[in-house]
Structure 1
């Protein structure tokens, strides 16, 4: 799967580059929201605060606790049929289905029990080995972070 440059997110992490093909066809509002945050530098310096071996790596909380979000309102869910498999990028949320904001996670392995309950908005196309290297924990001691997040057409 190759995305257009305007739909390709490049994360430079403390473990190396991760390239994500965004899927506006699946979740147009979520993709637009993430692009807006990326453009504002929101994700630069944000840690991977929750990394569970065999499950997923979560990031996007400005205070590193898993409780924070952006200054913008929460998003209405865009659940879709895309499966939660290795490399899937999906929005984290609270119990309310319409509570996703800035936090997202990348699946290490198949997590099909999440299907149609969380909004899938992209997939890692390059650098999954770097996601695999992220330090584990809930919370993570001395966590890895996103050094910079840019869209390929702005990189």
Structure 2
């Protein structure tokens, strides 16, 4: 169905809100927003294809800092409890090892316990439920600051950031550090769990979101790393300001390979 112009504008605002609500506090040029990214995908396709092929064959050691990040070598189940009700996520480290490893590592560290879902968008159409800003554990932090924070890794003393990691269909390895024009293997279907970020591709840290509907226009721009397999009704009942009671690994913890 072709979007009418007002619907297109609303769509761009929703995408822009997602990127501005990402985990980085850095200021970046507005012309790199997801709205412009989505609008220019068609023109990027030919130029991206060569770069994708090169990056997808690049070893993790050639991307600065990646070898020091946690990896999930396989799959794991994580149960997030909100207002006493469980949400089960199958986390896919087969197709998104760095993104999945980062999430499972933060769950294991208890980072998500007590954090707020600071952004919930259901109108004019279902979009996302977003949380994971460590600042939200402190009720004194102003609401307008939520969505700007990430996980401060005590080993490095700064915010841990992970590269944008998207595996195209048919590829053997993910593409890193850039958006792609090809269809990804892990898509934004309803129930997808993906990382929020700022305009910079390699700026995701701890913030994540649930897709409340099929959001194919985000494919290739944000890293999906898993899907809700049970409890999507709970996700649909989350309101802005609701807190995560707890997040626990219930299966596949042995697949997490963390650096010491």
- TM-score normalised over the length of structure 2: 0.53
> Are residue 18 (structure 1) and residue 87 (structure 2) matched?
yes
Q: Which runs of no fewer than 5 residues in structure 1 stay unpaired? A: none
- TM-aligned CA deviation for residue 85 of structure 1: 1.2
Which of 143, 146, 161 in structure 2 is aligned with 1:74? 161
1:33 corresponds to which residue? 102
Task: Provide Cα deviations, 1:97-150, integer angstroms capped at 9, x if missing partner.
Answer: 110000000000011110011011000000000000011xxxx3xx11110000
Aligned partners of 1:15 and 1:134 also within 8 Å:
no
- TM-aligned CA deviation for residue 6 of structure 1: 6.3
117-126 vs 56-65, greater mean Cα deviation: 56-65
Aligned partners of 2:81 and 2:246 also within 8 Å:
yes
Distance in 2 between the 1:39 and 1:85 partners? 26
Which of 239, 249, 258 in structure 2 is aligned with 1:151? 249
Aligned partners of 1:90 and 1:104 also within 8 Å:
yes
1:51 corresponds to which residue? 120
> Are residue 111 (structure 1) and residue 215 (structure 2) matched?
yes
Larger radius of gyration: 2
- TM-score normalised over the length of structure 1: 0.88
- TM-aligned CA deviation for residue 59 of structure 1: 0.7
- TM-aligned CA deviation for residue 15 of structure 1: 6.0
Aligned partners of 1:15 and 1:131 also within 8 Å:
no
More strand by share: 1
Q: Which has the higher contact order (CA 8 A, sep 6+)?
A: 1
Q: Which runs of no fewer than 5 residues in structure 2 stay unpaired? A: 1-73, 137-145, 154-159, 168-183, 254-260
- TM-aligned CA deviation for residue 36 of structure 1: 1.3
> Are residue 90 (structure 1) and residue 194 (structure 2) matched?
yes
Aligned partners of 1:14 and 1:145 also within 8 Å:
yes
**RMSD of the alignment, in Å?**
1.5
1:60 corresponds to which residue? 132
More helix by share: 2
| Greater than 4 Å deviation, 4+ residue runs | none
